Amino acid sequence: MTPTKPRIRSKRDDDLVLEFGNRWAVFGGGSAEDIFVTFGWTEAQYFERLKVLAGRRFPPLDDTLRHRLLAVCAERLQRTAHPPSPASKGHVDDSASRPTPRPSPT
């Protein structure tokens, strides 16, 4: 099997990442599915790259947008690093409310 060469990023790729981030920032970032379909990356890969790009101090980002993108990146990267527990997704552990089985008399 021949190793694949790493893909070289272009300014156009970076522009697409920033445009996508700008478009979806008000919604907390794009969905994992939209990110994968658009870039072929996981959420973590996308938000790590966006964080690097947004952290640079160059146009076309003004400080307000830069801070918004960095906040979205921080929140989404935190979420991907620590996914919600089943209890926070609506799963309720009702084992504490069930009666404890009593041993049968011998």
pLDDT of residue 81: 87
Q: Is residue 15 included in any domain, yes or no?
A: no
pTM score: 0.68
How many domains is the chain partitioned into structurally?
A: 1
Q: Which residues, 6+ apart, have CB-to-CB distance to 18 below 8 Å?
A: 50, 53, 54, 60, 61, 69
pLDDT of residue 58: 73
Q: Is residue 35 included in any domain, yes or no?
A: yes
Question: Around 95, how many Cα atoms within 13 Å sit in the side-chain half-sphere?
Answer: 3
Identity at 30, one-letter amino acid code:
G
Q: Is residue 66 included in any domain, yes or no?
A: yes
Which range marks the domain in which residue 33 is found? 24-82
Q: Is residue 73 included in any domain, yes or no?
A: yes
pLDDT of residue 68: 95
Q: Is residue 54 included in any domain, yes or no?
A: yes
Enumerate residue ranges in the chain where pLDDT < 50: none
